[in-house]
Amino acid sequence: MSDSELTALVIDDAREKMAKAVDHVRTEFSAVRTGRATPALVETLIIDYYGSMVPLRQIAGFNVPDARLLVISPYDKGSLGAIEKAITSSDLGISPTNDGTVIRLSFPPLTEERRKSLVKVVRHKAEEGRVAVRNLRRASRHELDAMEKAGDLSSDELERVEKDLDKITQEQVAAIDGVLAHKERELLEV
């Protein structure tokens, strides 16, 4: 393999992993409550379903009849208690209402204090995403340095590739910042 093929592999790998880190941040943000009912808040909750741990989305359907109400319809009515228990023990801070066939979650409007604490949570999650992207950049740089030491890469090529790597890193961090700004606006909107 030539220098450019080796470095292209390293850069492509880094780009792919960084994009996954940004997607993970987006997923984390979707689970943060904004005052509106959305299945994303509960669909990843892990339910003890007859001894196996499964995400809620695999054993129930969701319906949002209005902005503040989420209805969870389990495919098996015997799982109502397990779903209710998982929601109660989660950090949503919402009490489920079970009528024997469906579970209703009523979302009260967020207080100003709760909104500000949720903004802190999403900022922390965004910083974790930025750190993950930077760690991926560092790992790729170590890989490139090892290639240079082994004689597979010239120092000029290394310098060029490091600039490309920095550019990709900045783009991904900017993407995280954009997602964070959108989520903050969403949270602070009354």
User: pLDDT tens-digit profile of 123-176?
Assistant: 999 999 999 999 999 999 999 999 889 888 888 888 999 999 999 999 999 999
Task: Report residue 3's pLDDT band, with 50, 70 and 90 as the boundaries.
Answer: low
What sign has the CA pseudo-torsion 26, 30, 36, 37? positive
| Confidence band for 1, pLDDT divided at 50, 70 and 90 | low
Are residues 119 and 156 located together in one domain of the fold? yes
Structure tokens at 111: 């207080």
Flag whether the pTM goes above 0.85: no
Distance CA 116, CA 85 (A): 28
Do residue 87 and residue 117 come from a single domain? no
How confident is the model over 61-66, as a mean pLDDT?
90
Domain that holds residue 87: 39-106
Question: Can you tell me the distance from the alpha carbon of 134 to that of 95, in angstroms, rounded to the nearest whole number?
Answer: 39
CATH number of the CATH domain containing 131? 1.10.132.20
Instruction: pLDDT band for 66, please (50, 70, 90 cuts).
Output: confident
Check pLDDT > 90 for residue 68: no
CATH classification at residue 99: 3.30.1360.40
Cα–Cα distances in Å, from 38 out to 16, 54, 132, 165?
A: 29, 19, 27, 37
What's the pLDDT at 190? 63
**Whether 15 and 74 share a structural domain:** no
Q: Which of 23-27, 151-155, 163-167, 177-181 has the lowest mean pLDDT?
A: 151-155
Domain count, the chain: 2
Mean pLDDT of 113-124: 88
Final residue in a domain of this structure, among 72, 106, 140:
106
Between strands 52-55 and 60-66, the pairing is unpaired
| pLDDT number for residue 123 | 94
Q: Are 76 and 121 in a shared domain? A: no
Say which residue the tokens 């209402």 belong to: 97
Q: Is 80 left (phi over 0), alpha (psi -120 to 50) or beta?
A: alpha
